[in-house]
Structure 1
């Protein structure tokens, strides 16, 4: 316990799933967390629940595809806590479609905007805010490691996140900012619902025979955010129960 004591973290897309799991693990390790999402009512409810448990947590409504919202998220963090130590780029969306029938705006532009462009924009703000160094964690996916039918835009953005992570690691290391990625497999969430046919179809390909829980990504994020990984940057950690082994 206490691996992130008094560290200040931003976790994007944290009103459900992996983002919530990461946030909970950070709080349990002593971090102060600012989290965001587009659903204000749900975000405020999560904030209240966690504050009642004694955690130092703040919700900021933000659409990560809106540059003004991103700027406000970082400014609120600095106004509230005076610093930033950790950024977890997690907000994302998955669209399934046949490439021949693709809608360019909804199936491509919106996916790129949230899954990839928002990571660029948030990292820009983080690089300026992390005056004493820090850690950036990009949530990618095993979808960025291999192709899958009907998931071309998702896979392309996640592959882009992995490339971005490597470039960021080399550029930001002289500023004492470490940058790494996590590649989740089937993790139960609103995106990968337990009872959906898509989720069930993936289970047969997982050697461990089950999907993962959001907190199983959270514990890896704690490692990458803490001094336990002080000499780790530019890498990606696959968390998929052996699916891509």
Structure 2
């Protein structure tokens, strides 16, 4: 059940964080995996069980196209799964203080990298394959100071839905995973988002990569072959409603007067 034995996969942003954890999960489930990222990922590939690491800046259209072709060549066949996971963090500035330059940088890696993956990925993907895009719970709700990041990830969900419809005749499924706050190098324990997430999250804590990778595994496996065009939140319940921690904080502040 949920075996990936004999399957092939490429993962962008696979040299760190969620991407690295997904690579390890896929490899453990029997897939042959290639990771793609900006840094030298050879040691990470060995650690995660991937068969190779390809260096590429996923904000570059030419480099994405080249890396996906290389992944197919390294694997020796077309891909079963493509995970468009490369991303960058951006939190803090309100819209009034944000800059167009920073907005462009965030969109270049968070949105355009997914666009390039959706454009060139199907050229190296088998019919009946699966594409999984990493969006964010921030795409599903408004959060002060997250406008640029949220907009870039909301665009990923929109691209996911459009691609799901366009690729359906080939049986290629396209879905998005929307993680909440998850401890990674982009979100270390001392990040200012951590106490906010702990209060807002109904489960009362920040997630770990091990708690997110199961969604990618499911969407890659044959058992999810009737699911496409969906955005799956893995967020500890944040989009479900107001947490007790938030209500208690508001009540305490009101009582203090």
TM-score bin, normalised by smaller chain = over 0.9
Greater relative contact order structure (CA < 8 Å, 6+ sep): 1
Instruction: Please give the secondary structure, in 2, of the residue aligned with 1:154.
Output: helix
Q: For the residues of structure 1 that align with 2:2 and 2:143, how far apart are their CA atoms?
A: 40
Q: For the residues of structure 2 that align with 1:120 and 1:56, how far apart are their CA atoms?
A: 24
Partner of 2:16: 16
CA RMSD between the two structures: 1.4
Q: For the residues of structure 2 that align with 1:127 and 1:93, how far apart are their CA atoms?
A: 24
Instruction: Please give the secondary structure, in 2, of the residue aligned with 1:237.
Output: strand
Contact 2:133–2:160 (Cα < 8 Å) also in 1:
yes
Task: Describe the superposition over 1:92-112 as per-residue Cα deviations: whole angstroms up to 9, x where unpaired.
Answer: 11223232232322x111111
Measured after TM superposition, the shift of residue 197 of structure 1 is 2.4
Where does structure 2 lack aligned partners over 5 or more consecutive residues?
Answer: 241-257
Contact 1:141–1:158 (Cα < 8 Å) also in 2:
yes
Contact 2:34–2:54 (Cα < 8 Å) also in 1:
yes
Contact 2:88–2:110 (Cα < 8 Å) also in 1:
yes
Residue 227 of structure 2 is aligned to residue 229 of structure 1? no
Where does structure 1 lack aligned partners over 5 or more consecutive residues?
Answer: none
Task: Describe the superposition over 1:23-47 as per-residue Cα deviations: whole angstroms up to 9, x where unpaired.
Answer: 111011101111111111xx12212
Partner of 1:78: 72
Measured after TM superposition, the shift of residue 200 of structure 1 is 2.0
Q: How is 1:1-245 mapped onto 2 (pairs within 5 angstroms)? A: 3-40=3-40, 43-50=41-48, 55-81=49-75, 82-96=77-91, 97-105=93-101, 107-245=102-240
Rg larger in 1 or in 2? 2
Task: Describe the superposition over 1:96-148 as per-residue Cα deviations: whole angstroms up to 9, x where unpaired.
Answer: 3232232322x111111111111111111111112433000011111001111
Q: For the residues of structure 1 that align with 2:181 and 2:145, how far apart are their CA atoms?
A: 17
- Residue range with higher mean Cα deviation, 85-94 or 55-64: 55-64
Q: For the residues of structure 1 that align with 2:18 and 2:161, how far apart are their CA atoms?
A: 22
Contact 1:180–1:234 (Cα < 8 Å) also in 2:
yes
**TM-score, with structure 2 as normaliser:** 0.88
Contact 2:184–2:209 (Cα < 8 Å) also in 1:
yes
Q: For the residues of structure 1 that align with 2:70 and 2:123, how far apart are their CA atoms?
A: 15
Contact 1:95–1:154 (Cα < 8 Å) also in 2:
yes
Alignment: residue pair count: 238
**TM-score, with structure 1 as normaliser:** 0.92
Q: For the residues of structure 2 that align with 1:143 and 1:98, how far apart are their CA atoms?
A: 15
Q: For the residues of structure 2 that align with 1:56 and 1:148, how far apart are their CA atoms?
A: 36
Measured after TM superposition, the shift of residue 2 of structure 1 is 6.6
